[in-house]
Amino acid sequence: MPVLTLDYRHCDRKRPKFIKHVEIEGLAAQARQQLVASGVDAIAFDMLRQIDRLKINGIDFSLEVSTESEVHDEQGNHVFGICEYDPGVPDTAMVCVSPIGEKLSELLALSTLAHELGHAVFDAPGWIMDGSKGPGLFDAFEPCGQRAYRTTTPDSEHLAKSPTTGKAALASDVHFAELRANEFMGSLLVPRQLLSAAAAELAPEYNVSLHRGPSLDPEIPGISLHLTATDVVDMEFLEKALAMRFGVNPRFVQVRLQRYGLIRQEAVLR
């Protein structure tokens, strides 16, 4: 079964320390290298759910992945997925994703699983570290929500850079945890370099123009690629083609195109 081994900057409590988006992209790229061969665009749902162990920053723990039963929050509401750690089961994190069906499409299930895997990578080591220090210290953190990282939203906002959960305000640590999980999800399923290469290859087939120039992002040096279309339908067809290639939905691709600077709001003229 697949084992992911990753390391990133962290504090003495094994929590992420000021990790930038570009660093998360790099970690997602390392994860892909351990899961699929180079040149493979789509990561299969079955591949992700077979991951059964993580080695993160020296913390070696089991990962139990469940995709067979409906997942609910504490109020009994159906949710797409959770990632949690029970201190009574040491050195084990659990990811649960509701089964594919009427409430959860196959494409959204894949996104959810990748998102929850991001929580397992960035949040579970800290939970395990807290749990190892004894019930007293662990309980001090529980009111903040050991289950705070459990839900994913059922709409496209879940795939956005800044997730909205319908709650008026999220604690800052929870908010940044969601940002990290979303960035890991997006970079794992649709990496910058692979998306740029696929877009450059397919764009001419859909009357979408390619514009290359020096990158304006100091953290992503080299040549940047921008896409423009005179007809919104052409861009939509390209996004659908890219979505099929990466095994995600078109909205997911659109978010990643925007995230990587390949398209802007004014890129498609109506």
pLDDT in tens, 129-143: 887 775 544 444 444
Shared domain for 128 and 175, answered yes or no, is yes
Shared domain for 234 and 185, answered yes or no, is no
Pairs from 250-255 (Cβ < 8 Å, separation ≥ 24):
251/156, 251/159, 252/107, 252/111, 252/159, 252/186, 252/189, 252/190, 253/190, 253/195, 255/156, 255/159, 255/160, 255/161, 255/186
Where residue 89 falls among pLDDT bands split at 50, 70, 90?
confident
Q: pTM to 2 decimals?
A: 0.87
Q: Please state, in angstroms and rounded to a whole number, the distance separating the CA atoms of residues 145 and 220.
A: 35
Shared domain for 158 and 251, answered yes or no, is no
Q: What is the mean pLDDT of residues 93-108?
A: 91
Shared domain for 22 and 130, answered yes or no, is yes
Shared domain for 148 and 248, answered yes or no, is no
| Share above pLDDT 70 across residues of the chain, in percent, rounded to a whole number | 83
Q: What is the mean pLDDT of residues 225-233?
A: 92
Under a CB-based contact definition with an 8 Å cutoff, are residues 115 and 182 in contact?
yes
The total number of structural domains in the chain stands at 2
**Which residue range is the domain that position 209 belongs to?**
192-267
Where residue 214 falls among pLDDT bands split at 50, 70, 90?
confident
Q: What is the mean pLDDT of residues 101-119?
A: 92
pLDDT digits (tens, 9 = 90+) for 22-76: 999 999 999 999 999 988 999 999 999 999 999 999 999 999 999 999 988 777 8
